Amino acid sequence: MPDYPQFRFDVTGRDPAGSRARTGRLGTPHGVVETPNFIFCGTKAAMKGVLPGQMHRAGSQIILSNTYHLMIQPGAEIIAALGGLHGFMGWDGPMLTDSGGFQIFSMGHGGVADEIKGRRRPPSEAALIGISEEGARFRSYRDGSPLFLSPEGSIDIQRKLGADLIVVLDECTPFHVERAYTAQSMALTHRWGDRCLAEFDRGDDGRQALYGIIQGGVYADLRQESATYTRDRPYFGTAIGGSLGGEAGQMRAVVAETMRHVHPDRPVHLLGIGGIADILDGVAMGIDTFDSVQPTRVGRHGWALRKGGARERVNLRNARFRSESGPIDESCGCETCATFAAGYLHHLLRADELLAITLLSIHNVYTMNRLMRDIRDAIAAGALAECRRAWLGAASADGEQEDDGEG
């Protein structure tokens, strides 16, 4: 069974103020990730509009790409032939790939937004054909052709992609499923996890490390059972997946319950969570890494994250920025704020100029890295509460954030 000789995770400090927050160093063959940290989504082996050098200068330590997208375009063999993900996309720092499961199942079950709004996708768009013990059948997002992904296939593809950190194939259940289905799905995920471990071990060359995934939906006993499953297997790290409930309070409860049972010495990743308030909550419960498409996705729609404003973010399309000669955020040290006025970004958005995406994404990436650095410093100083106030400002009172309806 794997023992990950080229990887390390060292807890370097714990919150003296009493939360479960901790600092650590996650060592990989491509360098160290200081934790807590944020993993940016370069879905198709590219950050949208941001070059690797710009990611690096914005303080980023680790990037992920998505197996589901890459197995279809360009295919794992092409990436392997062109130097693996690191060589292919020109990023020489640590990387993570997911298993492909999240996209297959979230498309198959219908997105959460669709569910809430009562929409159903037409059958031709449903990517998931069926799940069996063997794996998942689904349709290509590019041409609709039928494809198949097994636990062994996911590991094989992720080996060819060559990220440092890779993840077992899981069935990712959405918010609305019943307890019985959640329990049955969790058991399948565990059997798939064991098959992933065996396949990983067969081809292990020491250059990758495998994360197990905890499922169990919103049910405390299932989360405990799934956390115990991952703890008792030789995974390098622990990922928390699946539905965490419908609002921040339930998410905190599910994560807190789960964290009571995870392996205490392994890095813990919370999948798909990236709001500033949510990250501050997660850190206080002992989460080490986070990922989300939000910092770059909202940037593409004109939103800039800001430290300590009345809201987590502002939309630069708003007319009040039209002749604003100051930067987005006076306290920000990013390449965008160093050079460009908020009024210029407003113009770029109004003029549909591509540079708006690049410049806002650089700012948002920098801001997330700044948040994580502030958090690490605050843990060492026992000052997480002050850090939360500094970042969320007036909004920190209720721990919730809302869009301000602009744009």
Rule CB under 8 A: which of 337-366 touch a copy of itself? 339-341, 343-344, 346-348, 350-351, 353-355, 357-359
Among 46, 128, 256, 293, binds a copy of itself (CB under 8 A): 46
Backbone torsions φ then ψ of 50, nearest 5 degrees: -125, 125
Query: What DSSP assignment string belongs to 248-305?
Result: HHHHHHHHHHHHTTS-TTS-EEETT---HHHHHHHHHTT--EEEESHHHHHHHTTEEE
Query: What DSSP assignment string belongs to 40-103?
Result: EE-TTSSBTTB-HHHHHHTT---EEE-HHHHHHTT-HHHHHHTTHHHHHHT--S-EEE--SHHH
Q: How many residues touch a copy of itself (CB under 8 A)? A: 39
Site string for a copy of itself, 141-180 (x = CB under 8 A): ----------------------------------------
Given 98, 170, 329, 374, which residue is catalytic? 98
Nearer to a copy of itself, 73 or 132 (CB): 73
How many H helices and E strands in the chain?
A: 16, 16
Nearer to a copy of itself, 81 or 394 (CB): 81
Does the active-site annotation cover 98? Answer: yes
Site string for a copy of itself, 301-330 (x = CB under 8 A): ---------------------xx-x-----
**Distance of closest approach, residue 72 Cβ to a copy of itself, in angstroms:** 9
Bridging pattern class, strands 128-131 and 8-14: unpaired
Among 14, 20, 56, 69, binds a copy of itself (CB under 8 A): 69
Using CA atoms, how far residue 126 sits from 197, 203, 294, in Å, is 30, 33, 24
Secondary structure element (H or E) that encloses residue 390, with its range:
helix 384-392
| Strands of the sheet with 31-35, listed across from one edge | 8-14, 22-28, 31-35
Nearer to a copy of itself, 168 or 357 (CB): 357
Question: How many Å apart are CA 148 and CA 154, to the nearest integer?
Answer: 10
Q: Is 393 in the site for a copy of itself (CB under 8 A)?
A: no
51's tokens: 């070059």
**Distance of closest approach, residue 347 Cβ to a copy of itself, in angstroms:** 4
Given 15, 288, 291, 329, which residue is catalytic? 291
Nearer to a copy of itself, 64 or 168 (CB): 64
Does the active-site annotation cover 143? Answer: no
CA proximity to 26, closest of 15, 16, 39, 17: 39
Q: Which residues bind a copy of itself (CB under 8 A)?
A: 44-52, 69, 73-74, 78, 81-83, 87-90, 322-323, 325, 339-341, 343-344, 346-348, 350-351, 353-355, 357-359
> Which residue numbers are catalytic?
98, 291
